[in-house]
Amino acid sequence: MPNLNRRKFIQISSLVAANMAVFSLNSKASIFDEKLTEEELTLKLLKAGFTNPPDSAKASCYWWWFNSLVDEEGISLDLAEFKAKGMGGVLLINSISGFGSGPIPEGPKFLSDEWRSLFRHALKEADRHGIEVGVNLSTGWAMGGAWIKPEDSGRWLLQAKTRLSGPARFSGKLPLPGSRDGYDNAKQLFIKDYIDLPMEQLDYRDTSVVAYKEIPGALSLKDGDRARSFAAKSNRLDASSHAEAAEVMEPTLLPWTASADDKPVSSSDVIDLTSKVTTDGQLEWDVPEGNWILIRTGHRMTGARTAYALPEAAGLEIDWLDKKGVERQFEHLGNILLKEAGEFKGKSLKYFHDDSFEDGFPNWTSEFLKHFKGYRGYDATPYLPVFAGVVIDSAEISERFLYDYRKTVADCMADGHYKRFAELCHENGLQVQSEAGGPSWSGTMCMDALKNLGRMDLPMGEFWQGKTFVQHDQNQVGKLVASAAHIYGKKKVSAEALTSFKPHWSDSPESLKPVADRAFCEGINRFVIHTSTATRPRDGKPGYEYGAGTHFNRNITWWEKAGSFLDYVNRCQYLLQSGLFVADVLYYNGDWAPNLVAPKRTDPALGKGYDYDVCNEEVLLTRLSVKNKRIVLPDGMSYALMVLPEVSFMPLPVAKKIRELVKAGATIIGPKPVKDPGLKNYPQCDQELDQIAEEIWGSAAVITGQTVRAVLLNKGIVPDFEYTGEANYIDFIHRTTKDAEIYFLANRKEAAAKTTCTFRVSTGYHPQLWDAVSGRILPMPVYKAAKGRIAIEFDFLPHHSIFVIFVKSARPVLKPADEWLFQGRLGLALLQEIKGTWEVSFDPKWGGPERVTFNSLQDWSKSEDERIRYYSGKAIYRKQFDLDMPLAKGKQLFLDLGVVKNIASVKLNGKDPGTIWTAPWMVDISGALKTSGNQLEIEIINLWPNRLIGDAALPIEKRLTNTNIIFKKEDKLLSSGLLGPVSIQVR
């Protein structure tokens, strides 16, 4: 291995390991036989993975078994096709249909002998094809089932007040709370189905009974200005899953101020009567003199049931705040699936999955007081009247208790559910994946989203087409899940990808690409495409489908060409899984709960050109250190500085850690704290916090009164990426390896963009353009290098994207040249338009004419021939033509198809230049074009709606299609076909 000793090879082993899978033994040997420097080997391996992405970098999909309507033939065909088109895995979810889709016939019963046989067949076939399988540990969406007993299901806190006078002996049953007391606005999604169930169906159980002496005229926390935030602070506020992070968090952070009419009850005067109450609510108590208020605190099951579960497995959803919930699920379902998997456990069956949390907002569990004391270090019992609006000790003390309560709920979810789920999977040789940070329904579920995701091997979010779960033109949880992966040391940032409420089958690769590129720039690097419904050949096409999702299976019209789109996704994912994410700023998201992360944004104090991560309290306390004045994580991530939230409080352990970081050389920006927000070791915690604040807020390392951008510039850290043109919007993400800097750029607008892009890359690096659409590594672009930065001029087409790879090398690896695709497009000139008649062949099987002549290019949907107007599928355009002038030597020639609806491939004189699915709609024909006698063939595939609309006007027995998705004959037809103009361009 000349010029590369063993130690250096090991130093780049992380990159090598990611790439070696793409080489045969012979090619590995040939690489190492070459005289390569360390940098050259790194680049060669990176190129190999880009050209032929390994299975670990490939997209996965939601493989829905709706109503278990599957058979062995369909399973085998699905998995074979997924593999052939470039998918690396499937996520198997068994569910009923939903979201507005029509009925789907029923297959074998879930967990029946027949179903288990099909499950085993799927794992065997997946193993044969090298496809990894994940399984959702529930039917329907979130965890639950017929095996979940009421006591193991999600719980809501309830309270009832009773007034007693003494001295007297009380012997009697205490009144039960109202079934929805405190939950006046609970109405989102499925909550409305169970909020008003009668008490006798709700498995009410007591937690405690306390008493305090009544104070006449005392003001309630539910009165005055404090009433606006009481429901949020006491964790009984419902909200849509579309609520923004700030909307969820800010009401809990509004400070409560004391009122002269508060007349607080002393926590030391609260009497615990729990031991005097029987399980049926019977109290025996000698009431002391005076008027007394009794608070009976207990909990009901929320009543939430598994959404869209198969009838034979439908039931209550689990308790999310205690490990018993997930343990029951694993006992009654996980262990069965593991047993059936047999030899394929850990082989094709790789992970269990937990889908998005959509179980309302459970806020209690039977062992909550025990958990609270374990996390917070004190007994919550004397403070329980705060939930009833009673001021205990003071408004501030009451607020501190509720802060501790909400943090405990979040900790219970992170550890009791997600951590325990991970432990159970790991004990059985599986990984764990979950959409553990949302979007959640309710949006106010009291979680630490980063902590939940950090418990996962495969942290996962979701992103949709259209406006669903999009806020300020960014995916709602894109930055959240990416930050979670970065700060917890996870390589893959997964997402339910491309989900949609758009009209069914209305998407093509061209329309999917901008949505994918936005996600890539947020940090998503592993798509789980939603959705690839399992199909049976006997059910026809397009088949039975889900009411939501971008339909992406072998029944779509353009499936035969889907590999080209998946190639693009896989190439992007490979490069975006390489190395480490580059960020200059680490934002501390605070220590409160609920704790959510806003979508990717440009902080006005930071400005454009810098990227960032967001961290939580756990990561700050346990994973951050300082090296060379940079804040670092154990996995290699590093940041120039950390920015604190604009609040006046800070837990004492956080202040201690910040002092430690500052003394080690870290730079911190943020306000000086004045108090600890919790009650642990109060008031000593505030005194010690004040001492720390005085010690370090005033040092040069803790900065206030300056923008983040100014601090970075003062450190000599210029923006990582900039572009020119006020009207332009070029998004980016940057990853770094030992010997290469990887930038992904995406034009986010539907307009062309001429711009100069500037990269923070030092001398000694040379740029290359890697086009993930074609898989080509292009000639080196013309560039300028100065002052530790490199500038490149680009001509971006609408929604164009490119990787700019800066290679560490003493000399350029490629020769510089203008690249027509991204630079100097004005150098293209029209050589000849291909006009006249075209012979077009349709598929009679789908109602089209076998052969027809178009006098000129036309939109199928406007044809007077119903066979063409309502056609969906593939048509082949054929034409013979001559050039109007002799071929010029040394010129590049391109066939430009103009407008295409919706995907195309070209053959010219027997040569296949490739499939075209996005702009520019042209292929290089330099080596295929002749002066005369050119035989041109263009395959065009449109989408399903036109045939479905045509069939809607026909009796069922005359229809060519079969589906449960309803179309109407009045629905608008989609523009279809080769619209052109078709021309030859020369450069």
Q: How many Cβ atoms are within 10 Å of 363's Cβ, its own excluded?
A: 27
Looking at the domain 829-986, which fold is it?
Jelly Rolls (2.60.120)
317 strand-pairing partners: 144
Residue 177, pLDDT score? 95
**C-beta separation of 382 from 210 below 8 A:** yes
Q: What is the pLDDT of residue 140?
A: 86
30-72: pLDDT as tens digits: 554 567 777 778 888 999 999 999 999 999 999 999 999 999 9
Contact 456, 494 (CB under 8 A): no
Q: Is CATH 3.20.20.80 correct for 55-147+307-383+394-579? A: yes
DSSP string covering 784-838: EEETTEEEEEEEEPTT-EEEEEEEE-SS-SS-B---TTTS-GGG-EEEEE--S-E
Cis peptide before 683 (omega within 30 of 0): yes
CA 601 to centroid of chain Cα atoms: 16
How far apart are alpha carbons 671 and 648 in whole angstroms? 7
Q: Is 26 exposed, middle or buried (0-12, 13-18, 19+ CB in 10 A)?
A: exposed
- For residue 742, what are its two tokens? 């990887």
CB neighbours (10 Å) of residue 676?
27
Give the pLDDT confidence score for residue 23 in this predicted structure.
Answer: 46
Size of the chain in residues: 987
Q: Tell me how far apart the alpha carbons of residues 941 and 915 are, in angstroms, rounded to a whole number.
A: 11
What pLDDT sits at residue 826? 56
Torsion of CA 799, 803, 806, 811, to 10 degrees: -100
Question: Domain residue spans in the chain?
Answer: 55-147+307-383+394-579, 155-301, 585-715, 725-808, 829-986
The candidate with the shortest Cα–Cα distance to 87, out of 613, 532, 627, is 532
Lookup: tokens for 875: 């048509």
Task: Specify whether the CB–CB gap between 813 and 766 falls below 8 A.
Answer: yes
Is the bond into 311 cis (omega within 30 degrees of 0)? no
**Strand ordering across the sheet containing 765-771:** 580-581, 730-736, 740-747, 801-808, 765-771, 776-777
- Which residues in the chain show pLDDT less than 50? 1-29, 32
What pairing do the DSSP bridges indicate for beta strands 874-881 and 934-941?
antiparallel
Integer Cα distance of 478 and 470 in angstroms: 10
Domains 725-808 and 829-986 share a fold: no
Report CA-CA distances (Å) from 780 to 747, 789, 842, 926: 20, 17, 43, 20
If one counts every other C-beta atom within 10 angstroms of the C-beta of residue 109, the result is 14
What DSSP letter does each residue of 124-152 carry, written as one string?
Answer: HHHHHHT-EEEEEEEESSSSEETT--GGG
End-to-end Cα distance, the chain? 43
Encoded amino acid at 638, one letter = S
pLDDT of residue 16: 44
Q: Is CATH 2.60.40.1180 what the domain over 725-808 is classified as, yes or no? A: yes
Q: Are 481 and 524 in contact (CB under 8 A)?
A: yes
Adjacent-strand bridge partners of 730 = 747
Q: Among all chains, which residue has been given the structure tokens 């060379």?
A: 628
| CB of 145 closer than 8 Å to CB of 329 | yes
DSSP classification of residue 388: G
DSSP track, 392-416:
BS-HHHHHHHHHHHHHHHHHIIIII
Q: Calculate helix-pair angle for 562-576, 38-51, nearest 10 degrees.
A: 150
Count each helix (H run) and each strand (E run) in the chain, helices first: 24, 48
What is the rounded CA–CA span in Å between residue 139 and residue 159?
34
CB contact at 8 A, 73 and 31: no
pLDDT of residue 25: 42
